Amino acid sequence: MLLWFNPSNHFRKIHLLRLRLRVVELLIEVEVEVEVEVEVEAELRLRLRLRLRLIEAEVRAEIEVEAEAEAEAEAEAELS
């Protein structure tokens, strides 16, 4: 006397539960992918900042060398 049990409803509920589970799995996958992308982006930003600082230091060093060379050339010109 299981009048309340309807196989089609039962299987539909099971199907809906499986769909919900799949949605949760996909949400977790997306969240993990986003976290990884954020970490990669942060690492790339850090590398770019470090590269920029290195380039700035190289440019400053070149400017200092040129300034010293100009100062030496001016000093030699004054002595001559």
pLDDT in tens, 23-60: 999 999 999 999 999 999 999 999 999 999 999 999 99
pLDDT above 90: residue 78: no
pLDDT at 51: 98
pLDDT above 90: residue 18: yes
Q: Where are the domains of the chain?
A: 7-80
Place of tokens 């986003």: 34
DSSP states of 33-73: HHHHHHHHHHHHHHHHHHHHHHHHHHHHHHHHHHHHHHHHH
| Distance (Å) of CA 23 to CA 9, 12, 37, 79 | 21, 16, 21, 83
Answering whether pTM is above 0.85, one says: no
pLDDT above 50: residue 1: no
